Structure formats: C-alpha cells, structure tokens
Amino acid sequence: MKTSIGLVRSGRGRILVLLVTALLGCGMAVVPATPAAAVSDCSLDPYGCQTPKCGSDQDAGCNESLYLHNGTVQHNPRIYLIFWGSGWNSGPDSGYPAYLANEVFGKLRGTAFNNILTQYSDASGPVNNDAVLGGYDVDTSTAAPGVFLESYVNPEIDREVAKKSWPATDDTQFIVFPQPGTDQSQLTGCGRHYMRSLGASGTAAWVASSKSDCDGSESGLSGIALHEYAEAATDPQGLDASWLPTNVHGWATDDPHNDPVEVADKCEGWSYESGSTYTVTQPLLWSPAVNACTIMHGKDYPTSDPGWSYHTVYGAILDRYIALQETGSALGVPTSEEHSIGSGRVSTFAGTSCGANRYGEIYWSSGTGAYEVHGCIDSRYQAGIPDQSGGAGPTSSFGFPKSNETPVSGGSYNTFAGTSCGAGPHTGSGSAIYWNAASGTAYELHGCLYQNYAAAGGPGSLGMPRSNETKVTGGYYNLLAGTSCGSSTGSGLYWVSSLSAAFRVYGCIYQAYAGFGGPTSVLGLPTSDEYAYNGGRRSDFQCGSISYLGGVSTINVTCNGTSYYAPQVNTLESNTTACPGSSEYFTTNDYSGKPIGWTYANGSHACIQVLWQPTFTSNTCTFSVYVPNGYATGTINFLITYLVNGDIPRTRTVSLNENPVSGYQTLTTEANVASIQFGDNTGQSYPTQIGWGMQAANSLRQAC
C-alpha cells in the first residue's frame, strides 16, 4: 500500500542496467494466464525470479497469499501524472516529467512487466495489458505548498481535472509528484495510493520527491510511481477509505484495511535499474504464475499495431511461438494481447497475406493445446463452415486447431477439432482446411466427408480439395484434384444421407459423371465406390450407373430408361497421301463448353472412324447425337448396324446436316441397333468441318 525505501533500493548500487523502454519492450518471456507453459518466466527472465525478502522492513503478512477481498480491480487503467510546482520546469529535473510520462508510463501497455497484472481479476474480468497514459501536466497555476501534506492531494487532483478536462472513471489513476525541495517530512512512507474522496471516481496516489528516508532521484521516483500504479490497478480500494466496508478491498493479504501487503509490497527490496537519459527503477511484482517476484509475465515484442509499442505473448501460446521461430516465422510480430475466444485463448499476429489481407493467429484450448493458423487457410477458417450458420474460427463448427499448417504434396493443411461423424465405417471428430497451391485457394472438409477422405489417404490418394463441402439434395460433396483420365484430372467425395455413407468417384468415371451434371443430374448421388465390372470399371448411382470399358464411358440412367455413350475414335490411316499428317482429328470444347472432337471432311477416303456401341435391345429406342455448338459445318452420313432375327447384321445410312443445329439431334428411332458409326469420307472436302461429342454425357443418347 505505502512504499518504503526498501522498495527502491539502498544507495545507488545497480544490480542491472537496462533502459525502461528496453526493459518493458526487449524480448522477454511470458507465462500463461489460462494455458500452462513449458517455458516459464523464471527461465526466460534474464534476472530470474526472486522470493520475498520478508525482512524487518517489510509489512506484516509478507509471507501470506494475496487474494481478492470482495473488491475490484481496474480493468483498463488510464493514468494521469501531475507534477506540482514550477520547480519541475527548471534545473536538472526539467526534462523528467516528459520522460517519465512518455517513455515509462506511455509505453506500459503491451509489455511483459505490465502483463503481470493480468493475473489479477474480479468478477468482471482481469486487469488488461492495455494501460494508457491519459496525460500529464506540470501545474504552475497553483503554488506548490512549502510543507506538503497528504490532505493536499485530492484538492490538487480536483483542480487539474477541472483545468485539463480529464475524465475520471473507476479505471482512472492520478499520481501527484510534489515539487522537489519542499518539506515532505509529514508524509508516511515514500508513496501511497487510495481511493479518491467519496463521490469522486478513480484512485489518487503521491510519490515523495524530497524526503530524507526516500530516494528522490529520477530512479527512485520511477520505482515508487510504478509500485503505486501496480497496486492501484490490483487494489484500487487501497487503505483507509473510511466510507468502504472493512471487508471490501482488492488483491492483498489477510488484513487489507489496516496493514495490507499488495502485489508490489510483497517484493519490496527487489528492483532493477535501467537508464540512458534518466535512470529508471523497475520494481519486481508478485506473479502467481511462478509464485515469485519477477519483472515480467511473458515475452514482449515490438509491434506494428497502431497505438502500441509492444505486445506480450505468454504461456502455451508463447511456447508455440518460440518453437515457430517467433518473429522470423510466417506469423511475424504480434498484433494483439492474448485474449479469450470461445472456450480458449488467442493471440493475433501480422501473419501472411491472402489476397488484400493478412492473417495469423495462435489458438489455445485445454482440449487441443496451442497451434497456429495463417494465410489463406486462416482466411477460410475465419469465414466459418459454409452452409452452417454462426461463428468464425474456433467459435464455428471447425473448433480449435489441432495442428500447425503442415506442408503436403500440392499445398498445405491444418486440422481442427470439429465436426463429428457418427455414421458409416469411418467415424470420429475432426475437420481440415487445405490450401491448394495449384488454384491458390483454401478449401475445407469436415464431418463424415473429412473422415472418409482421411481414411482414403487424403491428398496422397484423392488429391487436394478443389471445393468446399457443398450441399445437394440428399447429401453433400467435395470436389478433389483427384486421379487422371487422359489429360483430365479430378475426383469427388460424396456423402449420401439416406445411406449414412460416403462414396468416391474418380478417374474416367468421374469425368463422365461431372460432364453429365454430377449429383444434380438425373443420376443423383453415387451409391457405391468404383468396382470391377465385365473387364472394366463401374460406379452405381441413385438413378443409374457409369461404366468404363476399353477407353469408353457409358452412362446408364435407370430411372427414365435413358443411356449415354462416349464414342470410340479410331484412326484408320495417317501419314499417307490421302491422310497426311498424324493428327487426323482434334479435340477441344465447343462454344457451349462441351468436350468435342472435330476434323475436316475428306472426300471419299476415310482417315478416322467414330463408333458407338449402345446397349442392344429389341425394344424400340430413340437415338440422338450431340452436334457441337461450332466446329460443325457439314453433313455426316451415319452408318447404322442393326440385327435381323437377333443375329443377322444389316446396315443403312442416315444423313444429318450439322450446319444449322446444335445440341442433341434425333438420328433414328428403331429397335435392334448394334452400332452407330461414321467416318470423315462424307463426299465433302476441306474446309467443311464435322464434329461430335467426346464425353458420354454429350455424345450419343439412347432413350427406350
């Protein structure tokens, strides 16, 4: 409560020299408020931790514990310094008021020293590491008294509040420094703080500048002032507030109303000095995190955050930050104090860019530990899970991170605690966000799709995600970079709610499925993984199947009796006089975006054959061919082979002029069709073009 000479030091002997701005801002370590840390303040503090001296000069109760006595703390301290008297404007002390205000109290916020106070709280929360210098004044408007008494403090504060229009709240501190050279012998101790008079908000304190048993040097004044500041923040009720009940006080030992020992009293006799322009004394404070006296709770770092010189990182979050190489990591410098989020804690950092913004945090929760998220993965994380309302980051369905960003072929990823999957062969909780290097975009998987993706081998098996989870009728899906089919790649992972199961579609079957419209098409969602079928491969769907055999995909729609077929394109002859060159046909997308093949008409000589082999049936079916939108200007002569009496082949020719039309065009309606084909020997010649669809979804359609 009151500062004695033991707080500061005896004599001018220095234990350590260290400029207060460096002391408050040099890289120092921290212990957690909530998360436990492997790296403690004592091991990172270059001065170590000290035990209370509790000698003859200490207040009674030095060995007792501090606890809250039904009172409060100052959650966001705002400090005003009053230097009373013209003597502060002359002589060797003339520059000291500005230095103490701007370089000491003006740079408290965000420091590891000030972070010690965040361990002290009341029912409304802790003291925050955001102390602000509200202002300072050298008051020459009222003559300094020749004999300074404590009773002069509150009237002087009232005059300054009125003159400077300083606001006064429960978080406000006013510290008065009487003019050097005045008689201060009537004061008890070297400094003291207490609540202002009844009806006035905030706390009052004084610091002796000319008292024989106190150090009135710049060094001594700073130590006493920081001592009283720390105790006013953690026990603003202070001593001898006669209008307060005797059991209402902040953090102190068992007898707070008469002879309290507070956060700085407990460490009297321990202090360190620093200095350049002026010497500054740093008092040690009691830190519950290490159960000792220390000058830091955490490690503070210079920051780019406007209005702050430093931010402190501590606890398990600091452990992770150190392991990541601190400011040399992708996170960069801290941009916030550690604070609560959901059921855990977070510190934010400058991070790395994603688009026009930068992202980076370290999160901690008791169930997951401390892990970092940054860049585009963090951007996706902050947006929450699509189609699920509420929350961002750890307060969304993602939950807290369970890994740092981890490199993987094709990009990187973070895993997260949520969401759950309670059905199917792969159950559990978890989600992940993957950054796809090829697209430069981050995508998420969660719930049962994530469990099945991980069980299938993740990116190493199905490739990197290329969509977020997307809701469709009857389920959900994620698109993946997948496996190849010729020059095309891609796959999909689909959750079917009615079956409580996830299925994979990949390779050439996936290309046919995607080209047909995927889960929004008449096929619906898959009902099986791909399996061996008649020497090829097949996947089943809610309304049909897709098979792949001999390089040809066939789509069979069972719900409406429609099937779709991809063609076989055979080169009959190349590098001859009639068929010069090796590229007898070309592939591209037409103006509607459909994959097609096309070539120039070649008179009466065939260089290629385009062949479809639909499912044979004696039922009458309508056959339609896809005419490209563009790349088709001629007439094609289709050769239709049909069977008579079930086994005797017969053929006939049907012509289709592609020039005025596009899309599916009816070719014939009949039964017993075995194959449909054409060649480039149409009787026409260059530059006439003929074209056809290359994917089952847009090539030949059979409706029976």
**487 SS3 class:** coil
pLDDT for 462: 87
Residue ranges of domains in the chain: 2-299, 568-703
Give the position of tokens 């809701």. 471
- State the average pLDDT for the chain: 88
As given in the structure block, the two tokens for residue 206 are 């004084």
Span 57-95, pLDDT tens digits: 555 567 788 989 889 999 999 999 999 999 999 877 788
Topology annotation, domain 568-703: Jelly Rolls (2.60.120)
Q: 133 is written with which tokens?
A: 């210098």
Tell how far CA 307 is from the center of its chain.
Answer: 23
- The token pair at 142 is 């009222």
Predicted confidence at residue 652, as pLDDT, reads 94
Please check whether residue 682 is in contact with residue 636, taking contact to mean a CB–CB distance below 8 angstroms.
yes
Q: How far apart are CA 623 and CA 668, in angstroms?
A: 5
pTM: 0.76
Phi, psi angle pair for 619, to nearest 5°: -75, 155
Distances in whole angstroms, Cα of residue 309 to Cα of each of 26, 306, 677 = 11, 8, 78
Relative to beta strand 172-178, strand 78-84 is parallel
Q: What are phi and psi of 252, to 5 degrees?
A: -160, 180
Summarised one tens digit per residue, pLDDT across range 377-418 is: 999 999 888 766 678 999 998 999 999 999 999 999 999 998
Q: Looking at residue 288, what DSSP letter applies?
A: T
Residues in the chain, overall count: 704
pLDDT at 171 over 70: yes
Smallest CA-to-CA distance from 476 within 437, 456, 503, 443 is with 503
Report pLDDT for 649: 93
CA distance to 8, 24, 254, 277, 299, per residue, from 111 (Å):
21, 5, 30, 21, 8
pLDDT tens digits along 601-656: 999 999 999 999 998 999 999 999 999 999 999 999 999 999 998 789 999 999 99
pLDDT score recorded for residue 6: 38
Q: 128: how many CB neighbours lie within 10 A of its CB?
A: 21
Q: Positive or negative, the Cα torsion across 503, 507, 512, 515?
A: positive
Give residue-wise pLDDT tens across range 459-481: 988 899 999 999 999 999 999 99
Of the listed ranges 268-277, 481-490, 666-675, the least confidently predicted one is 268-277
Structure confidence at residue 156 (pLDDT): 97
DSSP calls for 48-68: --B-----TTSPTTTTSPPEE
Q: What is the DSSP letter of 151?
A: G
Residues 590-599 as b/e (b if ≥16 CB within 10 A, e otherwise) read beeebbbbbb
